[in-house]
Amino acid sequence: MSTLPGNGSVRAITRWGEDVMHRVNKPVTDFGDELQTLIADMVATMNAAEGVGLAANQVGVDLQVFVFDCPDKEGNRVQGVVCNPTVEVPEGKDRNLDEGDEGCLSLPGAFTKCARPDFAKVTGVDQHGEPVSFEGDGLLARCLQHETDHTQGMVFGDRLSRKYKKRLFAEAEEFAPDYPSDWPVSPMIEHEDDHESDHEDTPAT
């Protein structure tokens, strides 16, 4: 069951290369109807794309807010809305890197290993301006870091070596014909000659 805002409309997902994806977004200051509609639409869009997280700039909106619905290491499903997020990760001897696969709904179909701390805590405010914080491990830790990065204009390709980045873009190009420009408003296109992605089990964020 979802505790996230419902009844939103699916919007087209903005891709890497669009300006709004690559600059620091504006902090949320107005918690009125427009924000509520945006957040409901982001939830609908994340669900349609079968993702575990989505930031506002991924639907083309220049605001620091993300939604997520993501399992942690033990499989506990954690959901939330965070405006104006800041992220904390362990430092020094408490810092352990998780070398797992990462993908982004704004570069659909492509995944690569991306080392990140295996625990993260995000603090911000919810859709009504009330303080919230979420923390966790596993995919949830990756998701919280990935989405906060989006609000700061960073994509996970920016965290990769040239070699891994090149490989990632090659994979994205391979799967590009499967994704209409307004995906997930229009569904994925099934091609007869499609070969299976190696990363079917890894959800994107």
The annotation places the binding site for Fe cation at: 104, 146, 150
Catalytically active residues are 147
> Do the beta carbons of residue 27 and residue 64 sit within 8 Å?
yes
Q: 111 forms bridges with which residues in the sheet?
A: 103
Minimum CB distance to Zn ion smaller for 104 or for 140:
104
From the CB of 192, what's the least distance to Zn ion, in Å? 29
The pairing of strands 131-137 and 119-125 is antiparallel
- Point out which residues bind Zn ion (CB under 5 A): 104, 205
| 50 Cβ contact partners less than 8 Å away, ≥ 6 residues apart | 203
Minimum CB distance to Zn ion smaller for 148 or for 205:
205
Q: 54 forms bridges with which residues in the sheet?
A: 67
Task: Please enumerate, by residue number, every residue annotated as part of a binding site.
Answer: 104, 146, 150
From the CB of 106, what's the least distance to Zn ion, in Å? 5
From the CB of 16, what's the least distance to Zn ion, in Å? 9
Q: What is the separation, in whole angstroms, between the first and last Cα of the chain?
A: 20
Q: Where are the alpha helices (DSSP H) in the chain?
A: 33-48, 138-151, 162-175
Phi-psi domain of 17 (left: phi exceeds 0; alpha: psi -120 through 50; beta: other): left
Q: What is the CA 143 to chain-centroid distance, rounded?
A: 6
Minimum CB distance to Zn ion smaller for 104 or for 168:
104
